Structure 1
Amino acid sequence: MTKTEVAIVVNPGSTSTKFAIFSREGSLYEETVRHPQEELAKFKLVSEQFDFRYSMIKKAVDKVVAEKGFQVVASVGRGGPVKPLEG
């Protein structure tokens, strides 16, 4: 059986991180992972939240990918102070 190739799209917000899974045909899955304020308060800077948020999102994405049998071929992140890259 051929696995569906998908791209993971991540959109971090102030108190949650949304992610979606897309195939060539369109959106297959969306989820919002909420970050409790008491957890976020442990960090002085937003940039210090990276490992915390990454582990929560990775766990959620890995679960869906395993359950659905997807093959991740791309990932996209949105937001943050990142300068544009040449294409």
Structure 2
Amino acid sequence: MARPVITTDAPGCRETVIDGENGFLVPPRDVGALAETMERFVLEPELIGRMGAASRRIAEERFDVRIINKRMMEAMGLG
């Protein structure tokens, strides 16, 4: 979707974000940090396009089903 990401710095979430490159990580259950991070996109709208493009690139590199399936097949000695 080419969107920047704000997520918590917790297992399962943090793997989708390179902090400062395609979005931001905030501490779990820290409403203040979340609000400040959201406000950053309002105050620095130029981050949205840059980080969004990075999110798309990262998603394609890390989570493309064809790439993942190929790696799995190779790991199992089937590809």
TM-score when normalising by structure 1: 0.31
Judging by fraction of residues, say which structure has more helix. 2
Q: Look at both structures and tell me which one has the larger radius of gyration over its CA atoms.
A: 2
TM-score when normalising by structure 2: 0.34
Judging by fraction of residues, say which structure has more strand. 1
